Amino acid sequence: MINPITVRTVSDLRSHLAKWREAGESVALVPTMGALHQGHLSLVALAKTKCDRVVASIFVNPIQFGPREDFKTYPRDEAADLDKLAKAGADLVFIPATAEMYPQGFSTHVKVSDLTDDLCGAARPNHFEGVATVVAKLLLQCTPDIAIFGEKDYQQLLVIRRLVRDLNMQVEIVGGPIVREGDGLALSSRNAYLSPEERKTAPLLHKTIHDVAAVLAEGEGADAAAEAGRFKLEAAGFRVDYVAVRDPATLKPLSGPVKPGTRVLAAAYLGKTRLIDNVAVPPKA
Ligand code: AMP
């Protein structure tokens, strides 16, 4: 096992990248907020199949958190993360301080409109502006050939694809499949907040959207299926932000019967923990 190079400044990042570029090597970037789990590590594994060098970034981005959200308490464990990234075979880990990313006087923000109007964008004002800004910076700092993001944050993945297209960035955005616990719960750094009781209830989020997708595959209308899903989650004690049936490319709302590939997305609180998940509608059995 070779420990990855750890850098904390953009100029150090660029000098390592320049050496690789000179040698003709391709580079993949996997941006994260740390507190790494198998979901993150699966993206590193995917990156290794696609490029010669893999850069992972760890940065808990303050500007994507709302004032009443969990920025201060977000789990952080740099030593454990570095160990996991070494085992996963990352070549370099970029861990900038907040002042490196947002120096005094920082005043440029990237806003992707339309796609961010609802779902998590409605529940978390400014969230996607914070995400788009930090991802644009990371892509410009690293100039990777590809950057990999999880389908777990499906709306985020589409926002980043749109950002890259609209700003003509020369990078391929690759989506990685959702990694789940054995009981279906999507891995998330925020799962650490769940009490033992909440952890038992949490897999119902996935089960519910999976069931919504199954009835949609059988021809049930989108509105009725989504409403039934919301009802089931509320009955189990979730505080539901949304259960939504959306076009997989535009996230536009759909009603009535839908095609395979249509996305079912949900966000719901269990106690203080906000969980999100999504699945595709399968082909008719
Ligand atoms: P985060 O650290 O939460 O910002 O996530 C960093 C990247 O990992 C994002 O692209 C996420 O979509 C992705 N990710 C988080 N959880 C999972 C998961 N369970 N499966 C696949 N990718 C994930």
| Residues 104-126 pLDDT 10s | 999 999 999 999 999 999 999 99
The residue assigned the tokens 């201060």 is 72
Q: How far apart are CA 261 and CA 79, in angstroms?
A: 39
Q: At what angle do helices 222-235 and 203-217 cross, to 10 degrees?
A: 160
**Ligand 1, closest atom to CA 151?**
12
* 152 DSSP 8-state letter: G
From 29, 30, 32, the mutation candidate for ligand 1 (largest count of ligand atoms within 8 A of CB) is 32
Q: How far apart are CA 154 and CA 156, in angstroms?
A: 5
Per the CB < 8 A criterion, the answer to whether 120 and 143 are in contact is no
pTM of the predicted model over 0.85? yes
**Which of the following is catalytic: 37, 40, 109, 206?**
40
Ligand 1, CB within 6 Å, residue ranges: 32-33, 39-40, 42-43, 149-150, 152-153, 176, 178-179, 186-189
Q: How far is CA 97 from CA 8, 16, 84, in A?
A: 7, 18, 20
Q: What is the mean pLDDT of the chain?
A: 97
pLDDT band of residue 285 (cuts 50, 70, 90) is: confident
Separation of CA 153 and ligand 1 centre (Å): 7
One-letter amino acid for residue 28 of the chain: A
Q: How far apart are CA 280 and CA 277, in angstroms?
A: 11
Annotated active-site residue 40? The verdict is yes
pLDDT band of residue 2 (cuts 50, 70, 90) is: confident
* 62 DSSP 8-state letter: G
pLDDT of residue 85 exceeding 90, the answer is yes
pLDDT of residue 90 exceeding 90, the answer is yes
Which residue is closest in CA terms to ligand 1's atom 22?
150
pLDDT of residue 215 exceeding 90, the answer is yes
What's the half-sphere exposure (Cβ side, CA atoms, 13 Å) at 201?
Answer: 19
* Residues 41-55 pLDDT 10s: 999 999 999 999 999
What's the half-sphere exposure (Cβ side, CA atoms, 13 Å) at 55?
Answer: 29
**Ligand 1, closest atom to CA 152?**
12
pLDDT of residue 128 exceeding 90, the answer is yes
* Residues 245-279 pLDDT 10s: 999 999 999 999 999 999 999 999 999 999 999 99
Q: Which ranges in the chain belong to alpha helices (H)?
A: 10-22, 38-50, 78-88, 98-101, 120-123, 127-142, 154-166, 196-201, 203-217, 222-235
Q: 201 exposed, middle or buried (CB, 10 Å; 0-12, 13-18, 19+)?
A: middle
From 58, 152, 191, the mutation candidate for ligand 1 (largest count of ligand atoms within 8 A of CB) is 152
